[in-house]
Homo-oligomer: A and B are copies of this chain.
Amino acid sequence: MTAPVRIALDAMGGDHGPETVLAGAEISLGRHPDIAFVLYGEESRVREALKSHPKLAAAARIVHTEVVVGMDDKPSQALRRGRYKSSMWRAIDAVKTRDADAAVSAGNTGALMAMANFNLRTMPGISRPAIAAIWPTLRGETVVLDVGASIGATAKSLVEMAVMGSAMARVLFDIESPTVGLLNVGVEEMKGVEEVKEAARILREDGMPVNYHGFVEGNDIGAGTVDVVVTEGFAGNIALKTAEGTAKQLASYLRSAMGRTLRARIGYLLARDAFRVLREKMDPRRSNGGVFLGLNGIVIKSHGGTDAEGFAAAVDLAYDMVRHELLARIEKSLGRLHPPATPVRETQAAGAEGQS
Contact = CB atoms under 8 A, between A and B. Distances in A.
A271 interface: yes
Given A187-B110, A264-B270, A222 B237 contact: no
Contact of A217 (B220, B238, B246): B238
Contact of A222 (B242, B254, B266, B274): B242
A264 B257 contact: no
Kindly name the residue among A218, A233, A238 whose own CB sees the greatest number of chain B CB atoms within 10 A: A238
A100 to B, nearest CB: 25
Contact of A271 (B74, B221, B233, B263): B263
A74 B218 CA distance: 21
Given A189-B76, A271-B264, A274-B258, A253 B235 contact: no
A345 interface: no
Interface string A104-124: 000011100100000000000
7 contacts: A113-B187, A186-B241, A218-B243, A222-B245, A242-B243, A257-B275, A268-B271
Given A220-B245, A222-B249, A263-B271, 17 more contacts: A138-B249, A151-B190, A185-B238, A187-B237, A217-B237, A217-B241, A218-B244, A221-B245, A223-B248, A253-B281, A253-B282, A263-B270, A263-B274, A264-B274, A266-B270, A267-B271, A268-B271
